[in-house]
Amino acid sequence: MLRWLLRSLVTVITVVAAGLALVDVGSVALTKMTVPDDVRAAGHAAAEVAKNAPPNRQTVTAAHQAAQDSAKLHGITVHTKDFTIYPDGRVTLTAGKTAPTLLLDRVPQLAHLADVTTTTTVEPLPFS
């Protein structure tokens, strides 16, 4: 009887752990699918600001703020050091997000697997 109870408990724990791992894998996969589009949207917001503005510090600051504002709507963060505006209006930026997970957050050696970062270069949209 005790052996059967112990096996049942191990089975339940294994099934629960596998289910939690599956949820985490799905969360990371979904985040990896959505972050590139969100970063591209933030880049387009920055390119829109920089499109017809003079290439100076004010333009860069305003474009970066526009990218941050757009990124914040999607829960992503634009990295300041990887933000470039080119004279032709293109914008290169790096942004990322940490996938919401159940297990990876609790294991420090695996937590980095939930971080999703994307670098993209976008051109200003031809319409406003």
Q: Which residues contact 82 (CB under 8 A, 6 or more apart)?
A: 92, 93, 94, 119
Note the pLDDT tens digit of each residue in 36-68: 999 999 999 999 998 888 878 898 999 999 999
> Domain for residue 128, yes or no?
no
Are residues 83 and 96 in contact, defined by beta-carbon separation less than 8 angstroms?
Answer: no
Residue type, 92: T
pLDDT at 109: 92
Where in the sequence is the domain holding 53, given as residue range(s)?
Answer: 2-122
- Mean pLDDT of the residues in the chain: 90
Q: How far apart are the first and last CA of the chain?
A: 72
> Domain for residue 21, yes or no?
yes
Note the pLDDT tens digit of each residue in 87-112: 888 899 999 999 999 888 788 898 89
Written as six digits, the tokens of 53 are 């503005």
Overall number of domains in the chain: 1
Residue type, 101: T
